[in-house]
Amino acid sequence: MPNIAFISPKGGAGKTTAALLLALGLAERGARVALIDSDPNKPLLRWGGLSGRPDAISVHAAPTVQDIRDAAYEARRRDPDWTIVDTEGSVRGAMVFAALRFDLVITPLTGSQMDAIEAIKASELVASFGKRAGNDLLHRCLLSRVPAALKPRSLAAVVEQLRARDIEILPAPLIEKEAFRALFEVGGGLAALEGHGVSGVPAARRNIEAYVEAVLKLLGRPAVAERAVAERALAERALAYSRVG
Ligand SMILES: Nc1ncnc2c1ncn2[C@@H]1O[C@H](COP(=O)(O)OP(=O)(O)OP(=O)(O)O)[C@@H](O)[C@H]1O
Ligand SMILES: [Mg+2]
């Protein structure tokens, strides 16, 4: 069961959006996802309280590091395939490393110089926590809110700065999409948005697909482990028999 954390010392870089999109994309592929909301403003908990949350996604509030451990423990009862932790946009967010062992840490950033500086800081923070814990933490930056049409010069400059420091970037950026904002107003996943007159949903869906694919490829695993698929099929069959009986 992989654990993924979203961290960035800078607020508003796109962590919560990227965490939710990953959860929705994994759920689309049949995975059960525990979303741990460690931001005191509780944006994911609020999303989970709107209508349409897929059953495959559970949301757990965890305002402190101790709460993250407890929330992960509570989530485990639902046998999730993935645990995704969203943190607050400050250096305090990095305290998350004391709570769980992470398979991947993602730092979203927009194509701005300020975000680039903070993403470099995040990368250094992750490297130092990994060293202290005695095992390297896998870290990737994720370009977010990238304009769909043309790539601005500032974005190229940001990419160049990260590359110069050997900071790796996930190969699928998140596009600036009205649909991604609307998820937090409407609730649920992309399917619910079309009925609310939100445009660009098919392109948003393709973008999530590419992003999820990039994460799965990086971790070298499917959305749902074969063992879990087999166990769940058995459990469903047993339930069906018990109902017939
Ligand atoms: N790909 C995107 N397309 C459109 N809007 C986006 C996208 N990503 C983020 N946003 C918007 O940008 C704002 C900040 O995004 P988000 O809340 O995900 O960032 P954050 O890093 O979690 O912020 P904080 O540090 O405050 O928790 C929000 O209004 C969100 O709706
Ligand atoms: Mg957030």
Q: Is the CB of 181 under 6 A from ligand 1?
A: yes
Can you give the pLDDT at residue 130? 83
Q: What does the pLDDT read at residue 10?
A: 87
CATH number, domain containing residue 220:
3.40.50.300
| Domain span holding position 197 | 3-244
Per-residue model confidence (pLDDT) at position 206: 97
For 47, 169, 174, 181, 198, the CA distances from 143, given in Å and listed in that order, are 23, 7, 6, 16, 23
Distance 97 CA to ligand 2 centre (A): 17
Question: Tell me, what's the pLDDT at 136?
Answer: 85
Q: What is the pLDDT of residue 228?
A: 86
Sequential pLDDT tens for the chain (245 residues): 899 999 998 889 999 999 999 999 999 999 999 999 999 899 999 999 999 999 999 999 998 878 999 999 999 998 999 999 999 988 777 788 888 999 999 999 998 999 999 999 999 999 998 888 777 899 999 999 999 876 778 899 999 999 999 999 999 999 999 999 999 999 999 998 988 889 999 999 999 999 999 999 999 999 999 888 888 888 888 888 888 76
pLDDT recorded at residue 245: 66
Is the Cβ atom of 217 under 6 angstroms away from ligand 1? no
Q: How many domains does the chain have?
A: 1
180 lines ligand 1 (CB under 6 A): yes
42 C-alpha to ligand 2 centroid (Å): 8
